[in-house]
Structures are given as C-alpha cells and as structure tokens.
Amino acid sequence: MSRPLVLAAGGVLWRGDAEDPELAVVHRPAYDDWSLPKGKAKPGEHLLVTALREVAEETGQEAVIGPLLTTVRYRVTAAGRPADKAVTYWSMLRTGGAFASNKEVDEMRWLGLPAARRRLTSGSDLAVLDAFVRSARDTRPLVLVRNAASDDQADALVPVLQGLRVTALVSAGLASCLETFAPTAVASGLRVREEPGLTRAEFEGNEAAVAADLRRATRTQETVAVCAQQQVISGLLEHLGRGDGVRPPAETSLRKGGWWLLHVRDGAVSAYERHEPAA
C-alpha cells in the first residue's frame, strides 16, 4: 500500500547584496531545530501561494518570489501513519516586515551562506541552499496566462496573481481572456488593459515588437500578467527568450487556465516555470 503524500512549500528568504546575501533561518521550539521557513499546503492551495503564506507567517516578512529552487522529499508521520512529505522551495527577496515570535517559530536569524549552512539542522535544507546558490537572484516575475476554460480556473488565479504582487493586468481583447482576469481585477482593484497586439491575428508578424514591449515593462516597477491564447503565449515565450543565457522551453503548451512564470532581470529571462491549472 502506498503511503499518503503531504504537500508543503517554503522559501529561501534573502536580503541585501544579491552576490553576498543574508538568508533567514528560523528556530522551531517544537523540534528544537533550525530550518528554512516552510509549512503544509491548505486543501486546494497552489504551492506557490503556500510558500509565500508560510514564509510570511513564520518570519513576518514580505517578499517578492524568485525562481523555483527544488523539491525535497522525506518520510514523516501524519495522523499516526507513515507518510511521504514533499516540500517545494522558491527563492524570495525580502521587501519589508518585522519578525515576531509565534507558536511555531520563536527565533529568526539573518545569516550569510556559510553561517546558514552551519546553523541548519537538516541535510535536506542544505540541498535547498545548493539550489539557491545556482539560481538567479534579484529577478521580477512576468506571468503569461492561457485563457481559462471556466470560472473556477479564473477564480483560482486570484491568490496566485495577488501573491505574485501583480500590478498590471494586460489582456488580448477577447471575452475569454478578459473573463480570465475579471476576478483578479475585482479582488485587487486593478483595471484590465486590453492590448490589440495580443490577439492571434494582430500578433502574427509583430511577435518581436510585442515581446519587446513586454521586456520594457519588466524594467519598470510594474509586475505584469498577460492573458492570451496558446499560440500567442508560445510566440511570446520564443521571442522573450531570444538572446538570453537561458534557453526557452521546447514545449510551451498549457491547458486552459495554466500559466508560465518567467523570472526576468534587466529585461533578460533567467528562469521559466510551467504551472498547469488544478482542474
């Protein structure tokens, strides 16, 4: 009989110089250990949202999410039974907040990488630090969303886009795309900006120009989410990745309601993440 799987997420929260960052490590009195902030996902919660929520709850810090790092797996006991636990981690840049002791975490320290390695209790956390060292830092999210197939898929995007601190919703002038962003617009108070160049007819032949406009937007203080049909999303991925050190994905298809999370620094894409809809 297979063991149940416990899903969790967390982050390597950092501040200061991207080349010599300080990392947040937390002490959990229940286990008397030092770890990276993390916690279990709520039912139906996207793991990216779990990661941001748990880091905020355990550290009191606000953060902008960076590249996906890794997923570590180990054995635990859940409800008195053996179980497998999978914890997915993202890099996170601290933007504000203040630590306050709570029932799960009674102390937090900011440490350089060598000191963090010495302080952390679990070997699995050291593997996460290895992934962090290899990752790009000081990036800004760019979200490319395929038009949703249902209201449920559109609703599921709300906590994701709010967690990513999206400040600009840009959509093809199609009912399916506008409806995809409508719940987020209501929840966040943002206006959905229609972009004619994001329809398939207008995009064909103008791919490079539309991608260049998006690159320029990532150099501002805006965090942009774009909604379009699959052919446009695929074209944007191809053109946004040209000339960058990280090759764009060969397979770009998504189910409706899915999204690509790009991590961009100085207009260049540093990492890609594919996220399919839950339903």
User: What pLDDT was estimated at residue 1?
Assistant: 58
pTM of full prediction above 0.75: yes
Residues 6+ positions from 179 with CB-CB distance below 8 Å: 148, 151, 154
**pLDDT at residue 80 is higher than 90:** no
Mean pLDDT of 226-237: 96
Average pLDDT of the chain is 94
Give the other-Cβ count within 10 Å of 34's Cβ.
20
- Which tens digit of pLDDT belongs to each residue from 182-224? 999 999 999 999 999 999 999 999 999 999 999 888 888 889 9
The CA distances from residue 223 to 163, 205, 226, 261, in Å, are 11, 26, 10, 11
Burial of 122 (0-12, 13-18, 19+ CB in 10 A): middle
Percent above pLDDT 70 for the chain: 99
Strand partners, 22: 15, 112
Domains of the chain: 5-134 (3.90.79.10), 140-275 (3.40.50.1240)
224, 246 in Cβ contact below 8 A?
A: no
The CA distances from residue 82 to 6, 9, 10, in Å, are 11, 20, 22
- Which tens digit of pLDDT belongs to each residue from 132-165? 999 999 999 999 999 999 999 999 999 999 999 9
Q: Which residue has the higher pLDDT, 79 or 184?
A: 184
* CA separation for the pair 230, 233 (Å, rounded): 5
Name the residue type at position 171. Answer: S
User: What pLDDT was estimated at residue 180?
Assistant: 98
159, 49 in Cβ contact below 8 A?
A: yes
CA-nearest of 160, 143, 167, 141 to 67 is 141
Query: If pLDDT is split at 50, 70 and 90, which confidence band does 113 have?
Result: very high
* CA separation for the pair 136, 274 (Å, rounded): 17
Mean pLDDT of 89-102: 96
User: What pLDDT was estimated at residue 152?
Assistant: 96
**pLDDT at residue 266 is higher than 90:** no
Query: If pLDDT is split at 50, 70 and 90, which confidence band does 248 have?
Result: confident
The CA distances from residue 172 to 42, 176, 198, in Å, are 33, 9, 5
65, 51 in Cβ contact below 8 A?
A: yes
